[in-house]
């Protein structure tokens, strides 16, 4: 009787584990994969006011992203934009500081361009849902907006699925007289900025090998690679020209992380004339969004402290370029009451490691059951089934890479490798069980 109760208990445990595994996999597949849905923290782009007195930055509160303004010491934080249906990010000041622009992302991931007064009032939508804007800046006079955009229908499509790419556009503050300045359909255009004299626009183009720092002349519509780009390292990003155009800031892979599995990105500057790079940070994480102050020999930047986790948890810093003094900026934000704590906990629990553990527990229980109540030979059947499943996934990976999509194939390959590891472990468990434990 006692043996029968133990057998039933094991069967119930196997069934419960199977339901838990299937439910976890289903939840992982069907859930909203937006890592920022319930996030609270600073976004990944910010701006310094022309008088160097204020930071303008996006901030998430329980997944809702709006623009905030603060003194450069982190005090007097005020929210200036908000929306329940869109996320406001990537703010920029006009040259006189009287106006701002920002991007508003809708539920489909399409960014629309807005302009407003510096306090967030009198917002005006400039572009609409037919175009996705990746970055935007004011012209030297503040009367024109320059932006990089792509057709919204081409957004998120894999390379080869569409011929549309990013190009440079201009439009006035009323949303009228839109002009397409380039017709190259680039894969990406990043780090958009306007030269201090207003005669050129700078951006980075990826040529398949590295980011190329590029200039576009507004006088003759000529696009060319900047000469300083030749000496920039291959893995350089976030290019930012100083206000007097004598230095270029960028982030690049640190030398000590180049042979590791996870690259770390530090902040560098390079002198335009002398072409001598200088490393400014040693944070051993990832530096993003470097910005020069306009009237001080200082820079501000964000550190992705949980690199390479998602959502990105960023800290704001101010760096004195001359002395190397680095100061964190503590934003005086009101404490936020955590919301959606239950669903946040579920989202943290549902991950690849949890699924792998549940899978191995289920196979281990099946091995134990067959060992106890059938035969040693049959106890290897679950492990063999796991091996067959692993082989099938590996074959599917090869077929998908060749016939469908290499990126999707890489995802399947990761699953196949995880299955192989789990299979090795359960085979080891079956061997030890049959070698050491006596059968009932």
CA 344 to chain CA centroid, Å, is 19
Q: By the 8 A CB rule, do 95 and 140 touch?
A: yes
Q: What are phi and psi of 214, to 5 degrees?
A: -125, 150
Q: By the 8 A CB rule, do 299 and 316 touch?
A: no
> CA 53, CA 222: separation in Å to the nearest integer?
36
CA 352 to chain CA centroid, Å, is 19
Q: Which two tokens stand for residue 251?
A: 């982030």
Return the pLDDT at 1.
62
Domain boundaries, the chain: 2-31+352-436, 41-341
- Would you put residue 389 in left (φ > 0), alpha (ψ -120 to 50) or beta? alpha
> CA 377, CA 370: separation in Å to the nearest integer?
9
Helix (H) / strand (E) element for 423: namely helix 406-436
Return the pLDDT at 403.
84
Return the pLDDT at 59.
97
> CA 423, CA 419: separation in Å to the nearest integer?
6
Return the pLDDT at 421.
95
> CA 14, CA 434: separation in Å to the nearest integer?
20
Residues facing 223 on adjacent strands: 216
CA 365 to chain CA centroid, Å, is 39
Q: Which CATH architecture fits 41-341?
A: 6 Propeller (2.120)
Return the pLDDT at 7.
87
pTM of the model: 0.84
Nearest-5° Cα angle at 304, 189 to 411: 70
pLDDT in tens, 71-110: 999 999 999 999 999 999 999 999 999 999 999 999 999 9
Question: Given the structure tokens 């590295």, which residue do they identify?
Answer: 210
> CA 415, CA 412: separation in Å to the nearest integer?
5
pLDDT in tens, 194-204: 998 899 999 99
Residues facing 164 on adjacent strands: none
Return the pLDDT at 80.
97
User: From residue 103, how far is each of 123, 150, 286, 331, 353 by CA, in Å?
Assistant: 12, 14, 24, 22, 36
CB environment 33-47: b (16+ within 10 A), e (fewer): eeebbbbbbbbebbb
Return the pLDDT at 196.
86
Nearest-5° Cα angle at 167, 290 to 101: 50
> Residues of the chain whose pLDDT is less than 50?
440
> CA 67, CA 58: separation in Å to the nearest integer?
4
CA 228 to chain CA centroid, Å, is 27
């Amino acid at each position: 009787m006692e043996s029968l109760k133990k057998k039933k208990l094991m069967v119930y445990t196997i069934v419960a584990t199977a339901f838990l595994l299937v439910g976890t996999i289903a939840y992982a597949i069907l859930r909203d994969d937006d890592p920022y849905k319930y996030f609270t923290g600073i976004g990944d782009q910010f701006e310094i006011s022309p008088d160097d007195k204020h930071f303008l930055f996006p901030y998430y509160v329980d997944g809702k992203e709006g623009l905030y303004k603060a003194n450069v010491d982190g005090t007097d934080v005020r929210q200036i934009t908000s929306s329940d249906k869109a996320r406001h990010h990537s703010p920029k000041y006009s040259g006189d500081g009287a106006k701002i622009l920002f991007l508003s992302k809708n539920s489909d991931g399409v960014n629309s361009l807005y302009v407003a007064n510096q306090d967030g009032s009198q917002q005006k939508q400039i572009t609409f849902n037919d175009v996705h804007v990746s970055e935007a800046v004011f012209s030297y006079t503040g009367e024109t907006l320059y932006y990089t955009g792509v057709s919204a229908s081409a957004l998120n499509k894999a390379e080869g699925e569409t011929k549309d790419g990013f190009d440079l556009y201009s439009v006035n503050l009323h949303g009228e007289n839109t002009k397409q300045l380039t017709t190259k359909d680039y894969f990406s255009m990043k780090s958009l900025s306007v030269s201090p004299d207003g005669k050129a626009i700078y951006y980075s183009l990826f040529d398949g090998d590295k980011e190329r720092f590029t200039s576009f002349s507004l006088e003759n519509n000529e696009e060319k690679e900047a000469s300083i780009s030749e000496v920039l390292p291959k893995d350089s990003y976030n290019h930012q020209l100083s206000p007097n155009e004598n230095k270029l800031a960028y982030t690049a892979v640190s030398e000590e992380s180049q042979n590791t599995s996870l690259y770390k990105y530090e902040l560098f500057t390079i002198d335009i004339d002398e072409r001598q790079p200088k490393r400014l940070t040693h944070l051993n994480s990832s530096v993003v969004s470097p910005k020069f102050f306009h009237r001080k020999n200082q820079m501000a930047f964000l550190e992705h402290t949980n690199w390479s986790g998602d959502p990105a948890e960023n800290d704001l810093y101010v760096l004195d370029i001359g002395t190397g003094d680095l100061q964190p900026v503590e934003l005086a934000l009101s404490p936020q009451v955590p919301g959606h704590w239950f669903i946040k906990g579920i989202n943290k629990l549902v991950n690849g490691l949890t699924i792998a553990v549940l899978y191995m527990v289920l196979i281990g229980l099946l091995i134990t059951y067959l060992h106890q109540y059938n035969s040693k030979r049959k106890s290897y059947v679950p492990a063999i089934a796991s091996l067959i499943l692993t082989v099938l996934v590996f074959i599917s990976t090869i077929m998908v890479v060749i016939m469908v999509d290499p990126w999707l194939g890489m995802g399947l390959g990761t699953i196949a490798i995880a299955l192989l590891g789990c299979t090795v472990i359960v085979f080891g468990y079956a061997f030890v069980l049959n070698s050491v434990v006596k059968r009932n």
